[in-house]
Structure 1
Amino acid sequence: MRAGLATLVLLALAGYVFLHYQTGGARAPECVVTGTGTGEPYRLQPQQAANAATIQAVASSRGLPERAVTIALATAMQESSLRNIDYGDRDSLGLFQQRPSMGWGSEEEIMDPVYAAGQFYDHLVQIPGYTTMPLTEAAQMVQRSAFPDEYAKHEPQAAMLTAALTGRAAASLYCTSAMDPAPGDPGEIRGRLAHEFGDAVRTDHSGRDITVEVPEPELSPQGWEVAHWAVAHAAEFGVERIVHRDRVWEARRSVKGWQAAREQDTADGLLITVAP
Structure 2
Amino acid sequence: MSETDRPRPRRRRPFRKAVGLAVLLAVIGYFLVQRASNSGPAYCTASATGAGTAGAGTVQTYEMTHEQAANAATIAAVGISKGLPDRAVTIALATAMQESALRNLDHGDRDSLGLFQQRPSQGWGTPQQIMDPVYSAGIFYDRLAEIKGYTRLPLTVAAQKVQLSGFPQAYAKHEPDAAVLTAAFGENGIPASLACSGPAPAAGDPEKVRAELARAFGKEAREALGAGRAGAAAGRSKPAGTVSEAEVGLRLKEGGGPAEARRGRAMAHWAVARSKELGIVRVSYDGSSWVAGRDGGAWRGKGGEGGRKGGAGDPHDAAPGEVRIFVARATAH
Local SS of the residue matching 2:60:
coil
| Secondary structure in structure 1 of the residue aligned to 2:151 | coil
Q: Which of residues 153, 159, 179 is equivalent to 1:159?
A: 179
Give the Cα separation in 2 of the matches to 1:209 and 1:158: 31
The answer to whether the Cα contact below 8 Å between 1:177 and 1:254 also exists between their aligned partners in 2 is no
Indicate whether 1:209 and 2:247 are aligned: yes
Cα shift at 1:26: 2.6
Shift of 1:256: 4.4
CA distance in 2, matches of 1:167, 1:248: 19
Structure 1: stretches of 5+ with no match in the other structure:
1-10
Q: What is the DSSP-based 3-state SS (H/G/I as helix, E as strand, rest coil) of the residue aligned with 1:29?
A: coil
Structure 2 CA distance for partners of 1:170 and 1:17, relative to 1, 3 Å: closer
CA contact (8 A) 2:39 2:198 kept: no
Q: Which residue of 2 aligns with 1:114?
A: 134
Indicate if the aligned counterparts of 2:42 and 2:197 stay in contact, CA closer than 8 A: yes
How many Å separate the matches in 2 of 1:195 and 1:34? 26
Partners of 1:93 and 1:110 within 8 A in 2: yes
- What is the alpha-carbon root mean square deviation over aligned residues? 2.2
Structure 1 residues 10-38: Cα deviation after superposition (integer angstroms, max 9, x where no partner): x9xx8996686254243111111112133
- Give the stretch that moved more between structures: 245-254 or 59-68: 245-254
Question: Where do 1:1-276 residues align within 5 Å?
Answer: 21=34, 23-36=36-49, 37-168=57-188, 169=190, 172-178=193-199, 180-201=200-221, 202-203=224-225, 204=228, 205-207=230-232, 208-216=246-254, 220-262=261-303, 263-265=312-314, 266-268=317-319, 269-276=322-329
Number of residues of Structure 1 aligned to a counterpart in Structure 2: 263
Instruction: Describe the superposition over 1:117-175 as per-residue Cα deviations: whole angstroms up to 9, x where unpaired.
Output: 11101110111110001000000000000001110110011011101112534561111
Change (3 A) 1:81 1:34: same
Identity across matched positions, percent: 49
| Partner SS for 2:107 | coil
Instruction: Confirm or deny: 8 A CA contact 1:242 1:249 kept in the other structure.
Output: yes
Q: Paired residue for 1:8?
A: none
Partner of 1:166, secondary structure, is coil
Check the 8 A contact 2:48/2:184 in 1, yes or no: no
Unaligned runs of 5+ in 2: 1-22, 50-56, 233-245, 304-311
Specify the code of the residue in structure 2 equivalent to 1:26. S
Change (3 A) 1:252 1:91: same
Task: Give 3-state SS (helix, strand or coil) of 1:226's partner.
Answer: helix
Q: Partners of 2:58 and 2:193 in 1: how far apart? A: 14
Alpha-carbon distance between aligned partners in 2 of 1:18 and 1:270, rounded to the nearest angstrom? 33
- Kept in 2: contact 1:177–1:234 (CA 8 A): no
